[in-house]
Amino acid sequence: MLIRTDPFRDFDRLTQQLWGSFSKPTTMPLDAYKEGDRYVAEFDLPGVDPESIDITIEKNLLSVHAVRPYVERDNAEFVVNERPYGSFTRQLFLSDNLDTENIEADYINGVLKVLIPVAEKAKPRKVQIATGNKEPAALNA
């Protein structure tokens, strides 16, 4: 079996074996993009039980918390032990122009997808222009 050598990974593996700790990512990977009238945030959470995922919104702060527990393996001697276990948290600051009351989420194939709609007040709207001596028409926004 051929494995490319990374001295830092080897050092991490050695410290894990000596002190019994497991690697823990500093953040959960995220893609965020705009799709029509909403923003989409996709979080990679492979192997996480959907029941352990908690999404909260406080003012304009969206927090995602998930847990992937370590599974004890009897009589196992690890050759490679790189999969992260433990508690994961990621926070996103949301603009005032987003509708935090109507956020939706789903979890499919290890990816948590959070859909954040743009608020009606922030969507583009047409403004009528008065010509001549006419009074400007009222806006229907």
- Give the CATH number of the domain where residue 30 resides: 2.60.40.790
Determine, yes or no, domain membership for 136.
no
Burial 103-129 (b: 16+ CB within 10 A, else e): bebebeeeebebebbbbeeeeeeeeee
Average pLDDT over residues 6-17: 57
| Of residues 63, 60, 136, the one with CA closest to residue 95 | 60
Range of the domain at 37: 24-70+84-122
Total domains in the fold of the chain: 1
pLDDT digits (tens, 9 = 90+) for 41-52: 999 999 899 999
Determine, yes or no, domain membership for 31.
yes
Determine, yes or no, domain membership for 8.
no
Determine, yes or no, domain membership for 102.
yes
Determine, yes or no, domain membership for 41.
yes
Determine, yes or no, domain membership for 112.
yes
Q: What is the pTM of this model?
A: 0.69
